[in-house]
Structure 1
Amino acid sequence: MKMSDEALTFVIARLLENAKDAKEESMKDRADMFAAGRKVAYYEMLDTLKSELDVHDADLKAFGLDIDVDRLV
């Protein structure tokens, strides 16, 4: 079964929100290794998604990934 663009956009939006939350959590307690690891994991996911969509000539803006992932996370 193929995922629709709408479904993929929804999933990416959830990942973006979770990434923002992970960044905020990691900034509250910089010694919390779990929070730091969670932040890195979201960075890796979003960076990979953005790279793969770009390679496939997808419209990054349509998926909400026309962003600087380094700044977000």
Structure 2
Amino acid sequence: MEHTYIVKGMTCQHCASAVTEEISELSGVTAVDVDVASGRVVVTSDVPMDTIAVAAAVAEAGYELVQ
């Protein structure tokens, strides 16, 4: 399953790495693709994603989930 989110505040590859690392720790996540320029984060998982858990992971990385 693919889930697309918008993350606010990312400006560089380090930002993308931090977000990728935190989201990758969530149960069921198999891949994370981050586009810093657009703020788009595509999460591939083998289970439905809990948006609250994704938002918490993004916040842990220091950024904000917009949608």
> TM-score, normalization: structure 1?
0.28
* Bigger fraction of residues in helix: 1
Ranked by relative contact order (alpha carbons within 8 Å, sequence separation 6 or more), the top structure is 2
- TM normalised by structure 2 equals 0.30
